[in-house]
Structure formats: C-alpha cells, structure tokens
Structure 1
Amino acid sequence: MAMIELQNVTKDYGDSRGIFNINLSIELGEAFGFVGTNGAGKTTTIRHLMGFLKPNTGTVQIKNLDAWQNAAEIKQCVGYTPGEIAFPDVKTGWEFIHQQAELLQLTDLSFANQLIERLQLDPSANIKRMSKGMKQKTAIVVALMADPPILILDEPTTGLDPLMRAEFIQIIKEEKGKGKTIFMSSHMFEEIEETCDKVAMIKEGKIITIEAISSIMSNEHQQFIIEFSNEQESTRFMQEKLDSVAISHTMVSVNIENNILNEFLAILSTYQFDNLTEQNHTLQEQFYHLYSGGQSHD
C-alpha cells in the first residue's frame, strides 16, 4: 500500500525552474531517500507533500488523501522538519514544544523528553539565540514527539555535529523499526545508505533514477585498483580488452563485470603486480556518475 504518492507532478516557475513530471511511490513502512544538488527540486517536492504548494498538474497524495485539499488532516499524522527553520514568536524551546504539543493534542511528553536527552538539547534556551544545530534538534523533537506514522524530513541533520548525526541516524533506525513510513532528503549520503530502502535522485527538477539501496551497494560490477611492479607491466595490461583507466605510470583502475571475474583473475595472474584493492560501491559514487551523465526517469 502506497502511503505517499506523487503522480505526474509539475510545478513550473519558468526559466526551467521547478519540478517536472515527478512520479514517486513510497510504501507503508518504507524509508525513502531523496538526493540532489541545491536547487534540484527537493524542497519544492517536499512542500507539495506538506500541502504548502499546489501543483500545476498531477496529484500528490498521503494516505490516499489529497495533500493540498486535506493538508490539515494530513498534518495530524505526519512529523515534518522543514529545510529552513523559522520559529513563531516564542521565547524558549520549551514554549515552542508545548505550543506544538497543544496543536497536536499531545499530553504525554515522555517521548519528547527522551529525544531531548538523547539529542542533548537545552529547551530552556532563548530560541532566537539558539545555534543552527540547537534549532535543528528542537525541530526534530517536535517532528517525532507525537509518534506519527509518517515522517517527512527535509535535510534534518543540517547543523548537527558528527556525534549528534550518528544519534539521529540511530533514532531514525528505531522509528523505521516501528513500521513508520519515512521520506528524507539529505546531502549526507551515509545517512541515506544507513537508513533508507530506496533512493530517488533529482536533477534540474526531474527524477533521473529510483533505485534500491541494496542494488547500489552490491553492483553488477566490481572496481579494482591494481598497482603493477613496473610501468611495462602496467602498459601491457592496458592493452587487454578490459574497462580500465590508468591512474599513474604503474597504477590502473579496472571495472570488471561479475560474470567475468574469474577470467580477469586468470589474466591478472600472468602479470607482476604488488597490490590489488577492491573498491566499495557507494551512493555517493552512483550520484556523481548519474549527475555527470544521467538521463531523466519518467
């Protein structure tokens, strides 16, 4: 069952700005990552999910409700952190937390207190004097404290230090373990790798790929770095019919399809080399590869 669904969604601001023909479907209990450069359309997409923007064409639904028409009802079951945090006119973090709890008709703040402790937040601080990181922590507490079934998080760890980012990832894993549906944009590829089942990449307002994280991490080919004993061996190896690139006079990078791995190792055994290193595939590598030449995905 799709908890979040965008079908042929376009918001055209002119001059090629906006989002174009966006199709996404996030299943119940799925954690879905959303990556792209600044200005690619991540926040615009998320604002449609929250009912802040109405698309020119297409439909946006959360729990089978129209995100624009039923925005108030949807907000009752969605925890949201905005990309740009702007607090209302309140003095302290506590005041904001209590104000939001009242709006959500939340009387038990025990989970909020747990999150405050884990994120090392001082909610008694003056909200206008809070650092970016403290404001971010406050927004995370408010998004999660009512235990909503859906989380929509726009760059949630901006401003957090590495220790707090690791704690946040652990919290998200726990939320996912409760069966929650999570949609998260992030610049931090490791966050997406560690928490998400699938990822969509957006470029210039268009989805260029949607892939399972598992398929990215276990690619159909393997990359090796070979350090040859001398330049002659390196030059000779480059004449083999393999997908290889010279890194230096004696070092070569080679991509090997999994089905010819044994053949590659047999070829390599006829060469003098000092070192062979396998490179791990990452979401970041996939992102840069697709961004340099990826095609849009409708």
Structure 2
Amino acid sequence: MSLVEVKGLTKKFGKYKALDNVHMEINEGEIYGFIGPNGAGKSTTIRILLGMLKATSGEVKIFGNDAWEDAVEIHKYLAYVPGEANLWPNLTGGEVIDIFLKMRGNGSKNKRDELIERFNLDPTKKCRAYSKGNRQKIALISAFASDAQLYILDEPTSGLDPLMERTFQECVLEVKNEGKSVLLSSHILSEVEKLCDTISIIREGKVIETGTLNEMRHLTRTNLHVQTKQPLPSIQHMKGVHHVDNHSDGVSIQIDSEELGTIIKFISDFGILKLESTPPTLEDLFLRHYENSNSVASTGGRGI
C-alpha cells in the first residue's frame, strides 16, 4: 500500500524551477532514501509534502489526501524532524518534548522516558544551553515517542556523534518493524545504505535515478589507492574495476564491492607497499555518473 504518491511534481520560484517533474512512491513499512547534494531540491520537496509550500503543478498525496488541501489531517499521522531544530530557549528539553507530544495527542510517556535514556539527554537543561546535537536529540525523541504512521526526516543526524547516530538508526529500524514508513533525506551515503529499502537521487530539481541498493550497485563501489613493488598489469580489464587513474605514488581505482576480495588477492601478488580504502562520496557519484546527464534515468522502474 502506498502512503505517499508524488506524480509530476514541479515547483517554480519565479522563473527558477526548483523541482522538475519529480515522481516518488513510498509504501507502507518502507524506508525511502532521498539523497542529493545541497541545493538539489530535497528540502523543497519535503516542504511540499508537509503542506508548507504549494506545488506549481503535479499531484502530491499522503494517506490518500492532498498534501496542500488536507495538511492538517495529514499531520495527525505524520512526524517531522528538520536538520536544524529551533526550540524555545527558556524551556527545558523535557518541557519541549512534552509540548510536542501533547500537541500530537498520541505520544507515549514510557516511550519518551526510554528514548531520553537511549539518547543520553539531560531533559532538565534549558534549550539555550544545549548544543546542536542535543537540540537534534529533542526533535528525534519527540518524533519517535509519537504514534505516527509516516516519519519525514530531513538531515536528522546533523550534529549527532557516531554513538547517537547508531541509536537513531536503531529507532528507524524499530518503526519500520512496526509497519510504519520513513522518508530519510540525507547527504550521508553510508547512513542511507544501512537503512533504506529504496533510494531516489535528486540533482538540480530532477530525480535522476531510483531503485534498491541491489539495483544501484555502483553506489557501493569502493575507492582504492594502492602502491605496489611491481607495476600492476592491465588491472583496468578485470571484472568489477572502474575508473583507473595512475599517479606518481600508485594507482587509484573504483571496485565493485562483490569483487573486492578477488582484486585485493590479485594486487597482493605484486607486493603491496600502501593500500588505502575509502567509500565513494556523493560528490564523487554525481561528478562521475551524472555531470553530463540532462535526462532522467531510472534503474529501479519505480516512480519515474
């Protein structure tokens, strides 16, 4: 069952087209990743889903209701976490969480207390004394303590340390196991890889690719920089090897994850002096795959 249906969404600000014919479908119990560089159109799309902006054209429905006309009804079953949580400075963190839960009318005090402990938050401090990460914790606790059917998370881990990021990921998987849906907008590829069932990539207002991780294997290529005692012969012709660049201090290559073991074993025969491995950044992906693309492509066959 589709909870979110976006068809032909276009948004213009004057002559500037912020979104151009965007399609999206989020099913019940699905974690949907929405990724792209800053300024690509992620937040504009989310504001339209939340009923904060009106689409120039296209159809946007949540729970079968129009996102603009029926925003009040939709928000009864929706929880939202922005990338920058602005809170009342003179209230304590606990008071802010209680206000949000009271406004929703369907929050759980037991769940609230459990999440405060899991996120290691001191709820007695005034909001003006909190760091960015602690303000983000308040927004996350308020969202996950509510009984929502759809969670819209826009750069939700901004300011969190790695331990709290893991707690966040656990919370996302828990609501998924309860049959609820999540839209996760992020520029952190590793976070999206760990959590999402389906991913859409947006660039310059256009969704350029949609699919599952298995359908988008190029997203999981590893960047490898290697220096060997003996020159590597014709490694560019091996299965799973892409973008071979020779440097004075070695060779840089991209390798499909499933072929990584085979390639490393091959390289080791030539005497490894240095080996550095890094995951691809989103910037790498856009520069290498989409820089010269002016058309919308879909590998997943969904929503495009």
The answer for the alignment partner of 2:148 in structure 1 is 148
Query: 2:185 aligned with 1:185, yes or no?
Result: yes
> Which residues of structure 2 form unaligned runs of 5+?
297-303
Q: Deviations over 1:77-128 (max 9, x none)?
A: 1111123322357622222222222222236411111111100112221122
Is this contact kept in 2: 1:4–1:27, CA < 8 A?
yes
State the distance in 1 between where 2:256 and 2:161 align.
Answer: 39
State the distance in 1 between where 2:24 and 2:290 align.
Answer: 19
The answer for the alignment partner of 2:29 in structure 1 is 29
Query: 2:260 aligned with 1:273, yes or no?
Result: no
After TM superposition, the structure 1 = structure 2 runs for residues 105-144 of structure 1, keeping only pairs within 5 Å, are 105-106=105-106, 108-144=108-144
Query: What's the secondary structure of 2:96's corresponding residue?
Result: helix
Query: What's the secondary structure of 1:6's corresponding residue?
Result: strand
State the distance in 1 between where 2:228 and 2:89 align.
Answer: 65
> Would you say how many aligned residue pairs link Structure 1 and Structure 2?
287
Structure 1 pair 227–160 and aligned structure 2 pair: CA distance change class (3 A) = closer
Deviation at 1:194, TM superposition (A): 0.7
State the distance in 2 between where 1:199 and 1:52 align.
Answer: 24
Letter in 2 for 1:245: V
Is this contact kept in 1: 2:40–2:203, CA < 8 A?
yes
Q: TM (normalized to structure 2)?
A: 0.80
Structure 1 pair 144–223 and aligned structure 2 pair: CA distance change class (3 A) = closer
Deviation at 1:135, TM superposition (A): 0.9
Structure 1 pair 70–38 and aligned structure 2 pair: CA distance change class (3 A) = same
Deviation at 1:205, TM superposition (A): 1.2
Structure 1 pair 80–277 and aligned structure 2 pair: CA distance change class (3 A) = same
Is this contact kept in 1: 2:18–2:205, CA < 8 A?
yes
State the distance in 1 between where 2:254 and 2:161 align.
Answer: 36
State the distance in 2 between where 1:240 and 1:137 align.
Answer: 48
Is this contact kept in 2: 1:218–1:281, CA < 8 A?
no
State the distance in 2 between where 1:226 and 1:99 align.
Answer: 55
The answer for the alignment partner of 1:237 in structure 2 is 234
State the distance in 1 between where 2:136 and 2:14 align.
Answer: 32
The answer for the alignment partner of 1:50 in structure 2 is 50
Query: What's the secondary structure of 2:91's corresponding residue?
Result: coil
The answer for the alignment partner of 2:210 in structure 1 is 210
Mean CA deviation greater in 74-83 or 122-131: 122-131
The answer for the alignment partner of 1:103 in structure 2 is 103
Deviation at 1:292, TM superposition (A): 3.3
Letter in 1 for 2:143: A
State the distance in 2 between where 1:154 and 1:193 align.
Answer: 16
Letter in 2 for 1:247: N
Q: Deviations over 1:192-212 (max 9, x none)?
A: 111101111111111111121
Letter in 1 for 2:21: N
Structure 1 pair 131–27 and aligned structure 2 pair: CA distance change class (3 A) = same
Deviation at 1:251, TM superposition (A): 4.4
Mean CA deviation greater in 169-178 or 213-222: 213-222
Mean CA deviation greater in 121-130 or 18-27: 121-130
State the distance in 2 between where 1:134 and 1:257 align.
Answer: 37
Structure 1 pair 58–244 and aligned structure 2 pair: CA distance change class (3 A) = closer
The answer for the alignment partner of 1:201 in structure 2 is 201
The answer for the alignment partner of 1:173 in structure 2 is 173
Structure 1 pair 122–217 and aligned structure 2 pair: CA distance change class (3 A) = farther
- Determine which structure has more spread, i.e. the larger CA radius of gyration: 1
Query: 2:288 aligned with 1:289, yes or no?
Result: yes
* Aligned sequence identity (%): 33
Q: Deviations over 1:211-240 (max 9, x none)?
A: 21233347899988776653xx54x63897
Is this contact kept in 2: 1:220–1:257, CA < 8 A?
yes
Deviation at 1:14, TM superposition (A): 3.6
Structure 1 pair 227–42 and aligned structure 2 pair: CA distance change class (3 A) = same
Q: CA RMSD in A?
A: 3.4
Mean CA deviation greater in 213-222 or 20-29: 213-222
Mean CA deviation greater in 92-101 or 35-44: 92-101
